[in-house]
Structure 1
Amino acid sequence: MSQHILVLGGARSGKTTLAERLAMRMGASPAYLATAEALDDEMAERVASHQRQREGRFTTIEEPMELAQTIFAATQNHDVVLVDCLTLWITNLLSMERDVADEVEDLVDMLAAIESTRIILVSNEVGMGIVPDHPLGRTFRDLAGAAHQRLAETCAHVYLVVAGIPMVVKGTAPDL
């Protein structure tokens, strides 16, 4: 089993902060693979804010769709790759009508092949709230849940972050 990490949590739960701390402790040359696209002014400001916060600590790679290939390429030059976030990636795939399950399997296969670089995956846990009233919302929730289950099988460590506190779902407590 790989030593990869899956970090789940709600919006503003502290999941990215935990992932960044882990990446900084685990590697000398961490990469930050961002899946967000700045499609409006609010999102552009969020992206710019995140870039300022990690400036000088991470090499930033932006890729909204081709996640498995981009992670693999990043492992050639980095000892840790932090991916933030899978739910935005799933949204991007859905918007382009790509098969999310196939893309997740490609990601799982790629993760299984990587041993020398630690991969930290960050994602929003969206299945703990109300059932969405729109079919697309239910599809998204179901695809994210299935992706999380599949990735949790592959990763050696899974953490759920609530109110900034990481809880161990699988593996050992994070070294902070």
Structure 2
Amino acid sequence: MTVSLLLGGARSGKSRRAQNLAELASPNRLFIATAEALDDEMAQRIARHQSDRSEGWQTVEAPLDLVSALGSAGGENAILVDCLTLWLSNLMHHGRDVDTETEKLCSALQAMTQPVFLVSNEVGMGLVPDTRLGRNFRDAQGRLNQQVANVCDVVEFVAAGLPLRLKG
């Protein structure tokens, strides 16, 4: 099956694009959420995303164990992972080995038999972060996006709600 990566900046339309593609791919869909509602504003964002989804969606929360969530997904579901950026942030916050987790993710993606749509932010197009943590995160995000894009069949960049096909 096809594994697709949808990249873009904040509020670019990448999540909406991924949702639309997943809904076209299958009537049975699994949303793997990597966000955690750690404050009221994030809880409101999560609720808004949930209300945007039509019927036919199941949700699994996987802020850290994304590979396990992918492995336990039913074989007839289209899968939407939103998003790799928050997953990476969670890994770094919890002191996980990002390189090892990225390798596991790429291996899992290559073994998938159903359509998978991954959402990730392109963070390397803005200002250079002024803190070491910010630069480390930006660099790790760039490496993650490159490695995932390498194993994906389709890669799109979304800006202003418009997709630009980069691969596939």
Q: TM-score scaled by structure 2? A: 0.96
Letter in 1 for 2:95: E
Question: How far 1:78 moved relative to its partner?
Answer: 3.8
Question: 1:85 maps to what in 2?
Answer: 83
Structure 1 residue ranges without an equivalent (≥5)? 172-176
Question: How far 1:55 moved relative to its partner?
Answer: 4.8
After superposition, the C-alpha distances for 1:138-162 in whole angstroms (9 at most, x for unaligned) are 0100011001100111001000001
Classify the secondary structure of the residue corresponding to 1:108.
helix
Question: 1:156 maps to what in 2?
Answer: 153
Classify the secondary structure of the residue corresponding to 2:79.
strand
Question: How far 1:57 moved relative to its partner?
Answer: 3.6
**Correspondences of 1:79-118 after superposition (within 5 Å):** 79-114=77-112, 116-118=113-115
Taking the aligned partners of 2:37 and 2:157, their CA distance within structure 1 comes to: 27
Question: 2:162 maps to what in 1?
Answer: 165
Identity of aligned residues (%): 48
Q: TM-score scaled by structure 1? A: 0.92
Aligned alpha-carbon RMSD (Å): 1.1
Classify the secondary structure of the residue corresponding to 2:95.
coil
Question: 1:69 maps to what in 2?
Answer: 68
Letter in 2 for 1:66: D
Taking the aligned partners of 2:148 and 2:21, their CA distance within structure 1 comes to: 18
After superposition, the C-alpha distances for 1:70-110 in whole angstroms (9 at most, x for unaligned) are 11101x25421000000000000011011111101000011
Letter in 1 for 2:66: L
Deviates more, 1:85-94 or 1:55-64: 55-64
Taking the aligned partners of 1:78 and 1:142, their CA distance within structure 2 comes to: 35
Taking the aligned partners of 2:97 and 2:106, their CA distance within structure 1 comes to: 14
Structure 2 residue ranges without an equivalent (≥5)? none
Q: What is the count of residue pairs matched by the alignment?
A: 168
Deviates more, 1:55-64 or 1:122-131: 55-64
Would you identify which runs of 4 or more consecutive aligned residues in structure 1 move more than 2 Å?
76-79
